[in-house]
Amino acid sequence: MKFPKVLAGALLLVLTVGFASAETLSLTLDQAIELGLENSLAVRSRKNALESAQASLAGTKASIYPSLSASAGWMHLFEQPETPTLPPSPIAPQDPVSVSVDLGQTIYTFGKVKGGLKLAQEAVGSASLDLEEERRVTVVQIKNAFYGYLLAREVQRINRETLESKREAYEVARERYDAGVISDFEVLNAESDLESFKSTVISSDNGVLMAVLGLKNVLGVDEGTELEPVGDLQPIEAKIDREQLIGLALSQKYDLRSLQKGIEIMEIQRELDLSLRRPTVSGWFNYTLSSGMDADGKNDYFTWDAWSHDWTAGVRVDIPISGYFPWSKETADLERAQVDIQGMRIGLKTAASGIRLAVESAVLKIAEEQAKIDSGRKSVALAERLYESALDQYEGGYISSMDLKDTQLALNGARLAYTQAIYSYNLNVLELMDAVGVSELQ
């Protein structure tokens, strides 16, 4: 079936536009981290929480300053009151207008305002700590996904190279069979080996696709975007000093800092609860201006002498007496807060012990993987020499295809093991970063 020229042209235009609109991102690890932090919804949520805490702090600070309010009103008297004298006369205008200004100031609260301000400041510090940890966790997740992609791509490369070696071995076997040097069994064996290994290559290709999807998800990139991570799978450069890392973990780890922040907040809250049982001293001032009337009782808005001026001021002391009773809710809350603080301090010590153990365990695993990398590097070099020698002997007719297959598998296995050792080393470094509570190990 032939398409009309117009339809064919339109189809070509659609395909061209489609390919042109496809975006390709070539990202190094640092660029991926920058993009992931920018797109992270979790990081944005933490930023919003910090801004909310800062706004609450500003509102709490406002309670320190005087409060000022103004009001104005108009009132109509349907029955104007009169004096009991003869003849009676109005005692108030029928439609009075009044303007009032109120000024209030808390003079002394015995720690209430100060405690509330401290709580608001700690809330800002806690939100800032949460944002810092969310960014760190996001960075580690991006690194994990990025190195996972590099591993998948390296495995793909190794398997494709091995497949090409098996294809070359099959071609050599065909040539030797055509020359009458070997039997068809050798050719069939080489062909079978080639075909069976294709499934391994397909799996490694799918592994790369899955790794790309995982990286896109972490980076917050649209699935339709083409992603090309740039870089080679290399061990992460990290300075490993066990004692220094343990000290850093005990001072930097989010879990410990968060628990410590919680203890500080509960202690401030307890002091605030104590202050709630103390007096509060406040002062107030009011100025009211009201309209009057003329001698006939009519409203007078335009003569200054007709307006009345009232000034009032005072001081108020509030004492919550019931808060001092041993059966009061305030007393119970204070006792409960003290018990909770003690429990959190015990939890802080337990968490510190667990973090110390996690750091020491990660350091040991890193040393183990480093030894595997050193050994794997030597194994790959030996396997490459063995394969090159076997290939020369196979082409010369000194060994069979089975012998060559063994050396191919040995080389493939050595390369994969070496690559896996590098990836495992990087994973353990990332786990150490998590244990210490940082995103870089300088």
Q: Left (φ > 0), alpha (ψ -120 to 50) or beta: where does 231 sit?
A: left
| 143 and 292 within one domain | no
Q: How far apart are CA 121 and CA 182, in angstroms?
A: 85
Residues with Cβ < 8 Å from 373, sequence gap 6 or more? Answer: 235, 418, 421, 422, 425
Whether 71 is covered by a domain: the verdict is: no
pLDDT for the residue 318: 85
CB 356 within 8 A of CB 249: yes
| 421 and 310 within one domain | no
Given a cut of 70, the residues of the chain with pLDDT beneath it are: 1-23, 442
Strand-pair category, 226-229 with 24-27: parallel
Of the candidates 220, 151, 101, the residue with the CA atom closest to the CA atom of residue 417: 151
CB 220 within 8 A of CB 199: no
**CA distance to 135, 194, 299, 306, per residue, from 292 (Å):** 67, 110, 6, 5
CB 107 within 8 A of CB 281: yes
CATH number where 364 lies: 1.20.1600.10
Q: What one-character-per-residue DSSP string does 425-437 give?
A: HHHHHHHHHHHHT
Q: How far apart are CA 122 and CA 115, in angstroms?
A: 11
| 431 and 304 within one domain | no
E runs forming strands in 215-339 = 226-229, 280-290, 292-293, 299-300, 308-318
What residue type is 156 in one-letter code?
Q
| 265 and 296 within one domain | no
| 286 and 236 within one domain | no
Rg (CA), the chain: 40
Partnered with residue 312 across adjacent β-strands are: 286
| 404 and 342 within one domain | yes
Cβ of 247: how many Cβ atoms within 10 Å? 14
Of the candidates 134, 141, 151, 152, the residue with the CA atom closest to the CA atom of residue 216: 141
| 396 and 347 within one domain | yes
Indicate the number of domains in the chain: 2
Q: How far apart are CA 124 and CA 310, in angstroms?
A: 44
Whether 1 is covered by a domain: the verdict is: no
Q: What are phi and psi of 4, to 5 degrees?
A: -60, 155
pLDDT for the residue 5: 44
pTM for this predicted structure: 0.78
Q: How many helices (H) and strands (E) does the chain have?
A: 9, 8
Provide, for the chain, the percentages of residues in helix, strand and coil under a 3-state DSSP scheme, each rounded to the nearest 5. Answer: 65, 15, 20
CB 313 within 8 A of CB 286: yes
| 389 and 347 within one domain | yes
Mapped onto helix, strand or coil, the DSSP state of residue 91 is coil
| 270 and 285 within one domain | no
Mapped onto helix, strand or coil, the DSSP state of residue 5 is helix
| 391 and 295 within one domain | no
DSSP annotation of 237 reads P
| 288 and 188 within one domain | no
pLDDT for the residue 14: 37
CB 110 within 8 A of CB 275: yes
CB 166 within 8 A of CB 408: yes
Burial class (CB in 10 A: 0-12, 13-18, 19+), 29: middle
Domain that holds residue 387: 23-64+105-279+319-436
Q: What are phi and psi of 179, to 5 degrees?
A: -80, -5
DSSP annotation of 268 reads H
